[in-house]
């Protein structure tokens, strides 16, 4: 899947001045985990973002949010 998003490069949008962002997403299921890989190309620079989700997890969304908040507090200390 390829998605193109156009964002303005100036404070005020000018259609003639914009940066293209291309995104490709890959999904794999391996060893009970869903692995997503997002490849972003912004201008001539490429970024890769991986996310891993445990499919057998018994945690809820609330548990995940609590963990993120705890990690944020730990990082700030």
Domain residue spans in the chain? 2-76
Residue 11's H or E segment, with its range, is none
pLDDT at 21 exceeding the cut of 70:
no
Tell me the pLDDT tens digit for each residue of 25-58: 899 998 888 899 988 887 778 899 998 888 888 8
Q: What angle do CA 58, 48, 5 make, to 5 degrees?
A: 100
d(CA 5, CA 12): 17
> By the 8 A CB rule, do 10 and 17 touch?
yes
Q: Is 32 helix (H, G, I), strand (E, B) or coil?
A: coil
DSSP structure class, residue 14: B
pTM score: 0.46
Can you tell me the distance from the alpha carbon of 29 to that of 15, in angstroms, rounded to the nearest whole number? Answer: 40
Q: Is the pLDDT of residue 70 over 70?
A: yes
């Amino acid at each position: 899947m390829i998605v193109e998003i156009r964002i303005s490069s100036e404070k005020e949008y000018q259609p003639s001045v914009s940066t293209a962002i291309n995104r490709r997403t890959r999904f794999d299921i391996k060893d009970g985990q869903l692995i997503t890989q997002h490849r972003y190309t912004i201008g001539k620079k490429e970024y890769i973002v991986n996310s891993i989700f445990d499919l057998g997890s018994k945690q809820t969304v609330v548990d995940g949010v609590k963990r993120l908040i705890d990690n944020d507090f730990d990082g700030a200390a």
